[in-house]
Amino acid sequence: MVGVLAAALLIALVTGCAAKTPQEQTEAGFIGGQALTRFAPEERLPAPIVAGPALSGRGTVTTADYRGKVIVLNVWGSWCGPCRKEAPDLVEASKDTAATAAFVGINIRDSNPDTARAFVRAFQVPYPHIYDPDGGTLVKFAGTLPPNGIPTTLIIDKQGRIAVRVVGTVTRTSLVDMIDDIERGR
């Protein structure tokens, strides 16, 4: 029985990192492996300031350093297939929007930082990451981020409010378009 449960857990992690129940999928607008939620400016809630040890091993990464800019928070794990799929798009979007947005990664559930660092090197990810192996950083987002919805991307507006939540993979084009809209105050 334990072997069956372990196999089921492994399959869920590998094939459906962002899986949700049918009801959650419908309520969140789940389409094609992605649940996208946009919040109108008057409905946006403040995003918590998050900080943690830098995945690089040097210092601390904190979203407080990017106040007044659009912030893109991407929650990922090196073990997550959809995270690998979206990594090149995130890299390109971060370059496309470097003048208007700051990207910060939150690496979770990688017990060995070297594995996560190898992911960052392999995909040439240019932005900083918080190393959060136990997922403690996500507690600050209770009610906003699903605890096992990986990958998840939040876009925080210049006023520090959550403007967009994407559970599932993002594309370069959609991410750049959403960042541009939020930069313009939409």
How high is the pLDDT of residue 147? 67
How high is the pLDDT of residue 52? 96
Contacts of 171 (CB under 8 A, 6+ apart): 86, 89
Domain that holds residue 37: 2-183
How high is the pLDDT of residue 33? 58
How high is the pLDDT of residue 26? 28
Average pLDDT of adjacent 10-residue blocks, the chain of 186 residues: 35 38 33 76 95 96 96 96 97 97 96 97 98 90 79 96 95 96 91
Phi then psi dihedrals of residue 35, to 5 deg: -115, 115
Partnered with residue 129 across adjacent β-strands are 105
Looking at the structure of the chain, the number of domains it has is 1
How high is the pLDDT of residue 93? 98
- DSSP letter at 118? H
Partnered with residue 123 across adjacent β-strands are none
Q: Please name the residue ranges forming H helices in the chain.
A: 2-15, 22-28, 81-96, 113-123, 172-183
How high is the pLDDT of residue 133? 95
Partnered with residue 46 across adjacent β-strands are 161
CATH number, residue 47: 3.40.30.10
